[in-house]
Structures are given as C-alpha cells and as structure tokens.
Amino acid sequence: MTYSCYITFPTIFYAIRAEEILKSSSYKNKMLPVPRSISSSCGTALNCQCNDINSIKNHLLENNCKIEGCYKLCEEGLNTLSVEELLIDE
Amino acid sequence: MNDSAATGENTNYYFDNAATSWPKPERVYGAAEKQMRSMFGNPGRSGHTRTLEADRLIYKTREAVGRLFNIKDPARIVFTLNATDALNMALKGFLDEGDHVLHTAMDHNSVLRPLSRLTKEKNITSTTIPCSAEGYPSLEKLKSALKKKTRLLVINHASNVTGTIMPLKEMSDLAHAEGAAVLVDAAQTAGTFPIYVERLGIDMMAFTGHKGLLGPTGTGGLYIRPGLDIKPLREGGTGSQSELDTHPEEMPERLEAGTLNSAGLAGLLEGITYIMDTGLENIRKHEQGLHRYMFNRLTEIPKIKLYGPPADHHCACIISITTGQADSGEIGYILENNYSILCRTGLHCAPLAHQAIGSFPAGTIRFSPGPFSTTRDIDYLVNALQDVCAMIR
C-alpha cells in the first residue's frame, strides 16, 4: 500500500497559479489529472508528498491561491483503497 | 520603435493602426505559430502535458494583462473575441430592466448598437452626452444627466475618429458620486496609455488585443472589478464541473465558455511583452510625437480641414481630415492605388462622433500611424496628399 496526496482547485486558473507559486519553493509537486475517486471542479490537481500537504496548502492560501480540497489516497497498484478528505481550514 | 518586422519588406505605407495594428513585433507571429505546432492542447480540458502548456500560456497572458493595466487579481480578467464582444458582455450582462445609461457622442457602434437593442428588449433608457467639435464631452451636461436610476456611464477612453482622450477620472468620479458604475472602452488606448484601472475605481473595462496591444485579431478581454458580478453572455464547456448542468460561478470561467483562442493569446502575450520591454511611456511619447508632427505638416495643405484636438493636446495618434467637397472614399482609393497608402475613410462605426465634429454624413479620411511608423512615412503621406489636393478644384 502507498499513500499519495492531492490538492484540488476551483478552476484551472488557480491550479496554474499554485504551480507558479511553488516554483520558487522546495516542495516536490506535479500537476496531474484529478483521480476519479476525488470530486473536483477543475480537472487538474496538484500531487505532492503527504508530509508537505499541510505546509503547501498554507503557502498557497497565503499567496491568494484558492483551493477546493486536500485529499490523501491509499492505493495499491492502480487501485484506490480509500480516500481521506483533509480539512482545509486547520 | 525598433523591431525586425517593421524594418522588413514593406510595400505599403500603413496608416490604419486604429483599425488594427500592423506590423506586429516579429515575436507575435512566431508565438502564434509555436502555439499551434507544439502547445496545442485544449486549455482546461485534458490533463496531458500539451494541455498544461496551453493552460500555462493562458495564465501568463492573463497575468501580463493584469500587470499592464495595474490589476491585482488577474482572475477578474476574462478573454473575449475583441472589444466589441467585451462591451456586449458588459452591457448585456450588467444592465437590468428599466436601467438608465449614459454615454458620450464619441462612442462607437460597439456601444450604440447593443444599447439600441437593450432599449427595445429591456426597456432601458440612454442619454447621449454631447461633445464639442474637438470631441470633448460637456462635464456640466454629464452632471445634470446623472439621474437616480442611472446605473452605468460608458466612457470611450479615446475616440477612434479624432483621438480625443476623455477626462476619465473626472467622469468616473461624477458617476461614482451618484452611485453609477463605469464601463471604459479602452479599444484605442490599451497598449499606448497607462490605465490605472483599480486606482480610478473603474468597474468594467473592455479592451481589444489586435490594436495597441499588438496581438492577433480575435483577442481581447473584459475586466470586472472584484465584488461585481455580471450575467454570462454565453455558457457551455469549461472542462470543469462537467457533471453539472449549470455554468461554473468561479471567475474567470464564469464568463468564459468554449475553447479559448490559444494561438491568438500566445501572440497577445508577446505583444504585451514587447510593450513592457519597450516601455509604455516610450511608445506613448513616440506616438504623441508622430501625432504632433502629422498635425502640423497637414496644416501646410490649405485644402485640408483637420478635425479633433490641436497638436499640443494629449491624444491618441489618430487624425481625421476632409479635403473640400471631395469624396473621402475616392481620396482613400487614390491614396492606395497611386501611393500604396492604406488608411480608413467614411464614418468609422461612430456616426454620433461625426455629427459632433461636423463631418456627418460624408465622414472623414482617417490616418492612424502606429508604434513602428516614422516621420518619414508622414512626409511621404503629406507629399501624396499635396499631389492629390492639387487635383481637387
């Protein structure tokens, strides 16, 4: 089993804004299509390390980037075993 | 202004930048082609790399527009086909049944015609603020025309007939003091004049990409201030919230439906980048110098009547003339066929402006040099006009 984390956005504008903001940071991340198990307004999500998701979320919000949700997926191969929605307003 | 495109083969003397700018900076042509060849994904739709590249390009273009117009939140800028499209979106999305609208006599048909339809279909009323022969509006008349039900003042930042610059701040302040919103048509000033959209409290501003911003046709946009929502003119695919039968509410998608003109916006980004690299102030000074030079040189020809503000006024690089009773269309035809000079003749989609300056219904011959024009081009034009005027009895 592996875990992967995603941040979703209300529009592609904010997904690209997130990518731009994180360019000048050391957080590892990449833009990926939103997994089918997550509901999102925008089809592109930011995939990041689960240890970093809380810091990344705060960094994005501080830089006027709207986010829609934060998720932790438990996966086995190509199967998603569970999805945990993380609170945005922590 | 220097650019390789402007110094290449040029068999025309182009004086029609108020219609569309030409030449474009070389990088504009290249960017549009590059987008189609290698950054071809449909922005906002798929998740593959070509789409993400297109998404990044659109984002950068939106940011560049924001920087140029001093707008903090680029999500408040939506891309449109041109200024006319943006003005339609603003007028039809903002005005409600029975509203009162003010506009000036210098407005373009892109404002007058939508207002005419709204008068019939939404029972709105509109008042035209008269303008002087130089194209300036009467602020006293504006003040007295503002009513309780006035919901919107439309300001054409610069006339496309005379280049007259409207007193944007004074007009905006008067409207805001009476609770009316302000819609600015920046078709003739974007890319040449600094526009501090937020400082002036402009509520909405329409711009086109293919004139002063030096981008391709089919590009433009509308700014809507934060806190103001207008109804979308069109709804449909956005690549987001596909399961819903209603259009997304989040800006900028709220007002953008269907695939954006990525190739055009790639060119627009390079046009704006060229302007920022060259310096907006340098472009404005260059065009102001050309205007003054052209105005003074044209006064050397006795048969020419000039319209609009005098040479020492702050105005867009546009001059309208007539040559006695000669038909303006015929003069334009002779200029192209005998001298390869391209200009625009007639009413320029602004009939009320021609009524204000006294050239209705015959219209004028309009010359609008651009950032790559030179005083030598103007000397050539003046020599040609001297020849043509010698033929007029």
Rounded CA-CA distance B332/B322 in Å is 11
Residue B274 has pLDDT above 80, yes or no: yes
Q: Which of A36, A44, A66, A67 to mutate to test the interface with B (most CBs of B within 10 A)?
A: A44
**CATH code assigned at B8:** 3.90.1150.10
Question: Do residues B295 and B230 share a domain?
Answer: no
Q: Between chains, do B59 and A10 touch, taking CB under 8 Å as contact?
A: no
pLDDT of residue B148: 80
**CATH code assigned at A33:** 3.30.70.120
Q: What is the mean predicted confidence (pLDDT) over B350-376?
A: 95
pLDDT of residue A89: 62
Distances (CA, A) of B305 to A44, B19, B133: 60, 22, 13
Question: Which residues between 264 and 303 in chain B have a beta carbon less than 8 angstroms from any beta carbon of chain A?
Answer: none
Q: Cβ of B305 under 8 Å from any chain A Cβ?
A: no
pLDDT > 70 fraction of chain B, expressed in percent and rounded: 98
Rounded CA-CA distance B175/B142 in Å is 9
Cα dihedral across residues A27, A32, A34, A36: positive or negative: negative
pLDDT of residue B27: 97
Q: Between chains, do B43 and A15 touch, taking CB under 8 Å as contact?
A: no
Task: Give the total number of structural domains in chain A.
Answer: 1
Question: Which residues between 43 and 62 in chain B have a beta carbon less than 8 angstroms from any beta carbon of chain A?
Answer: 43-47, 52, 55-56, 58-59, 62
Task: Give the total number of structural domains in chain B.
Answer: 2
Q: What is the mean predicted confidence (pLDDT) over B369-388?
A: 97
Question: Do residues B88 and B191 share a domain?
Answer: yes
- Alpha carbon of A45: minimum distance to chain B alpha carbons (Å): 9
Q: Between chains, do B47 and A32 touch, taking CB under 8 Å as contact?
A: yes
**CATH code assigned at B122:** 3.40.640.10
Q: Between chains, do A11 and B62 touch, taking CB under 8 Å as contact?
A: no
Residue A5 has pLDDT above 80, yes or no: yes
Domain encompassing residue A21: 2-86
Residue B11 has pLDDT above 80, yes or no: no
Give the domain-ending residue among B220, B248, B277: B277
Of B45, B52, B75, the CB nearest to A13: B75
Question: Which residues between 313 and 342 in chain B have a beta carbon less than 8 angstroms from any beta carbon of chain A?
Answer: none
| Cis bond before residue B310 (omega within 30° of 0) | no
The DSSP code sequence of B33-46 is: HHHHHHS-S-TTT-
Question: Do residues B237 and B378 share a domain?
Answer: no
Question: Do residues B196 and B58 share a domain?
Answer: yes
Question: Do residues B205 and B252 share a domain?
Answer: yes
Contacting residues for B1 by C-beta, under 8 A, at least 6 apart:
B278, B282, B283, B286, B371, B372
Q: Between chains, do B240 and A17 touch, taking CB under 8 Å as contact?
A: no
Predicted model pTM? 0.94
ipTM score of complex: 0.89
Give the domain-ending residue among B235, B250, B277: B277
Q: Where residue B47 falls among pLDDT bands split at 50, 70, 90?
A: confident
Question: Do residues B245 and B325 share a domain?
Answer: no
Question: Do residues B14 and B51 share a domain?
Answer: no
Mean pLDDT of all residues belonging to chain B:
94
Alpha helix segments (H runs only) across B223-303? 262-278, 280-298
Question: Do residues B63 and B163 share a domain?
Answer: yes
Of A11, A33, A41, the CB nearest to B47: A33
Question: Which residues between 360 and 379 in chain B have a beta carbon less than 8 angstroms from any beta carbon of chain A?
Answer: none
Of A17, A32, A43, the CB nearest to B239: A43
Distances (CA, A) of B313 to B195, B292, B320: 18, 9, 15
Amino acid letter, B104 = T
Which residues of chain B lie closer than 8 angstroms to A13, CB-CB? 59, 62, 74-75, 252-253
Which residues of chain B lie closer than 8 angstroms to A15, CB-CB? 55
Q: Between chains, do B56 and A19 touch, taking CB under 8 Å as contact?
A: yes
Of B46, B56, B240, the CB nearest to A42: B240
pLDDT of residue A14: 97
Q: Where residue B165 falls among pLDDT bands split at 50, 70, 90?
A: very high
Q: What is the mean predicted confidence (pLDDT) over B66-78?
A: 97
Domain encompassing residue B20: 4-24+280-391
Give the domain-ending residue among B252, B277, B302: B277
Which residues of chain B lie closer than 8 angstroms to A34, CB-CB? 47
Question: Do residues B177 and B322 share a domain?
Answer: no
pLDDT digits (tens, 9 = 90+) for B169-198: 999 999 999 999 999 999 999 999 999 999
Residue pairs between chains A and B whose CB atoms are closer than 8 Å:
56
pLDDT > 90 fraction of chain B, expressed in percent and rounded: 87
Higher pLDDT, B96 or B1: B96
Q: What is the mean predicted confidence (pLDDT) over B154-177?
A: 97
Q: Could you give the angle at the alpha carbon of B302 between the alpha carbons of B296 and B306, nearest 5°?
A: 55
